[in-house]
Amino acid sequence: MCRADGEPALFCCPFSGVFWLWGKTEMRLGEMGEAGLIQAVFTRLAGGPDVVRGVGEDAAVLDLGGERLVLFTVDTLVEDVHFRRVYTSFCDLGFKALAVNLSDIAAMGGRPTHAVVSLAVPADTTVDDVQALYVGFREAAADYGVSLVGGDTVRHPRGIVVTVAMLGLVERDRVLYRDGAAPGDLFYVTGNLGASAAGLYLFQNPGLNCPVGVARRLKEAHLRPRPRVAAGMALAASGAVTAAEDISDGLAASLTHICTASGVGCRLDAASLPVSPDALELGRLVGKDPLDWVLSGGEDYELLFAVRAQAAGELGSRLAAAGQSLIRIGEALVPGEGLWIEDAESGRRVLAPTGYDAFR
C-alpha cells in the first residue's frame, strides 16, 4: 500500500542519502549507530519558506509571523535505555523529561514557552504514578516558566516511554547555532562537568562507600539536571557567541558537533576543564579518571559555546553580573588541525567523540 513499495525511484526522492545506502539495505541501526542514521535519514529533510533551520540543531527554528522566531524540539526517554525504574522515581522522570527539552531551547538562546507530553505506560501503572510524573513535569515547568498545554497518554505493553515536545521564542537576529565558530574563537562552558555521569556510576554500583553528601549531590545531578536557560538567553543577547550546543552526550561529542558544523579544529586545555569536585572525589575513591565522565559521560546539560576572542572580556562581565558562570576550556583552530586535548603531563592527544550513542 506504500507508494514506494517496489519503486526505488520514489524511494530515493525524500532523502538524498539513500543512494549511498542502496547496497546496504539490511544494515541495522545497531551497526550503523545514531550519527550514521542522522546522516542517512534526517539531515536532508526539506524545509519550507517558514523554516529558518530544520534538522541539525538542538531545535528547529521557525518563522510563524510573530516578532520572534519559534523554536520547536522533541526528546524521548525510554525505560531501560535512558533510565531505570530502580533509581528513578516517576516524579524525577517527569522533571528530567522536561529538562532535556529545556536544555535544547537553552542551547538555541531561546525562552521556553509551551510543552506537550506523550506518555506510553503499561496498563498496570497506578494513577498515583502518573500523577507523580505530572508533579515532576509541573515542577520543571514552574521553575522555567513553561506552560504544559496538552498530552497524549497511551498504553504500552512493555515499559515506559516519555516524549516531550517543546516550543520556545527567540529574537530574530539572536539565535544560537552550531555552525558559526571560526579559528581563533574561544570555547567556554557554563558550569562544572562530570557530575551526572558520576551519579549514574553510583546508581550502577550501589555498594560503594561514598560520603553521603557527595553521593546525594551526584545522584541529584543525574536525576535533576538544571538546564542553563538564563545563561543561553544571556549568551544570545550578547551577540558575541558564534556557536553553541548543550552538553547532552558528553563534552567530546558536543565539541565534535560544533567543530564539524563550523568547519574548525580545536584544542582543549585539560587543566582548565571544570570537573565537578564531587566527581573528582568519587573518581579518587573508585580509581576512575573523572575526565572520562566529563568527556564521554553526558547528561550534564551545561552549555558549550564559542566566542570571538575580542568579545570574551565583555561577555564575562555581562554573565558574571547575571550570576552566570563562564569557564574557558580551549580555542578553535583552523580546520586541518583536528580536535585535540592537551595537558602538561601527557601532551597532546586526539579527542575522540566517544559520547553516548542511542544505538550502540
Q: Which residues inside 209-248 make contact with its own copies, applying CB under 8 A?
A: 219-220, 223-224
Q: Which stretch binds its own copies (CB under 8 A): 113-121, 205-213, 315-323, 332-340?
A: 113-121
CA angle 351, 203, 74 (to 5 degrees): 65
Question: Nearer to its own copies by C-beta: 136 or 250?
Answer: 136
Question: Nearer to its own copies by C-beta: 221 or 255?
Answer: 221
Q: For residue 68, what is the DSSP state? A: S
Q: Measured between alpha carbons, how far is 43 from 132 in angstroms, rounded to an integer?
A: 37
- Contacts for 4 with CB less than 8 Å, ≥ 6 apart: 10, 11
Q: Which stretch binds its own copies (CB under 8 A): 145-153, 263-271, 326-334, 339-347?
A: 145-153
Question: Nearer to its own copies by C-beta: 134 or 305?
Answer: 134
Judge whether 338 and 183 are in contact, CB under 8 Å: no
List Cα–Cα distances, 316 to 59, 310, 313, in angstroms. 26, 11, 5
Q: Which residues inside 147-176 make contact with its own copies, applying CB under 8 A?
A: 147-159, 161, 163, 165, 167, 169
3-state SS class at 97: helix
Q: Which stretch binds its own copies (CB under 8 A): 29-37, 254-262, 291-299, 311-319?
A: 29-37
The grid cell for 8 is 526505488
Judge whether 129 and 70 are in contact, CB under 8 Å: no
From the list 76, 238, 260, 325, which residue makes contact with its own copies (rule: CB under 8 A)? 76
Q: Measured between alpha carbons, how far is 296 from 356 in angstroms, rounded to an integer?
A: 7
Question: Nearer to its own copies by C-beta: 58 or 185?
Answer: 58
Polymer length in residues for the chain = 360
Q: What's the min distance (Å) between Cβ of 120 and its own copies?
A: 5
Judge whether 232 and 316 are in contact, CB under 8 Å: no
Q: Which stretch binds its own copies (CB under 8 A): 140-148, 184-192, 249-257, 310-318?
A: 140-148
Q: What's the min distance (Å) between Cβ of 316 and its own copies?
A: 33
If one asks whether residue 37 binds its own copies (CB under 8 A), the answer comes out as yes
Q: What's the min distance (Å) between Cβ of 21 and its own copies?
A: 6
Question: Nearer to its own copies by C-beta: 43 or 310?
Answer: 43
Element (H, E) at 69: strand 69-78
Question: Nearer to its own copies by C-beta: 51 or 182?
Answer: 51
